[in-house]
A and B are shown apart, each in its own frame.
Chain A
């Protein structure tokens, strides 16, 4: 039977339509309730702008951290079989399924002022929790697995014989990696980084637990939205939610070849 030659059964269509509604109706509600008249003034308020700026800074910094740390990790995971490789894989994938608030508590207990490692950091004057670097770290903790898994999968598909060919042409190992391996996985590097950035931008649980909710210092956009919705200015929450929605759409469109075509 060829796909499309028969109609799907009506009850299945009904349930599928319900599933679509589950995604569509909330978005429609957001757009419908949006205070379009005051949207610009909401966006240009000082605390909204601060939250927006802070979110961009922390999410980009978290992405940069994920790229710098993630490329070597992905390469080792893709190319070497060492004892404990599966444990490392599980450990570095865990944040994808771990409730972010648990991640935040774990970070606090490890890197807080009295934490496992934090007590030593504190002595040399490094304070992460309730400071901006803490927000960056919390976002990187949650978002980095998206980058690592994407790049690792791409590295596995690189034909290692191309790297051999490069070596016979006088390229040392580092040069091969820089001039052959990385360019070959560039599309996946970009996709992984965009994915990682989107996840970092939306991070809530780990950030609020580890970095707190200090306006202008660690109050990122999702935290700001939550606070405003609960407090005096739900309109600001709605407008900034729309901003986050728009950013998500940009991510989706930029990754369309990866997600919207084959699947």
Chain B
């Protein structure tokens, strides 16, 4: 059994290191780019939906319960089931894959943003108002910078979920790294299947690292220190 495991492991390694598998329209480079395309498009739309809603409801203090409920419901929806439904309703293609992924990404962004803004020390907000700052200014100059660790965490969580789940695009004839997993499974080619898995994991780790670096640069040092001790 160990011999079998090592030959399949060896098979995965040789599949990954074979130069011809990296080039061409079905090569790793192309599929990584496609995977990035699906993930990026999803996250941009999810941020456009989740961030403003979270900021608005966090700042005004209204609608938090409703948004929280909707987010939990959205999280419970099976992404693969949504994919099949949308593929049948609107046809096989990019939209059918991206819409379910948006359902997956929005909750993290929305809820984390809302909680982050709500958690900003009320005395800071009071002091800002006392200094004469208008609501817009309070939001952008006080609340967002202080809430940034949680907001970026929400983005990071959403990004990680999207990158790992964008493999489902392969079910509807699209590309991406899921192609290797689904094709490898269908034709019992474990080298291909394993290679796909390794690449998705590497992509996810790279995404996580990128967000950690962004967080380090974006979050002000004072807030960073406070977030660590709180």
Chains A and B belong together in one complex: no
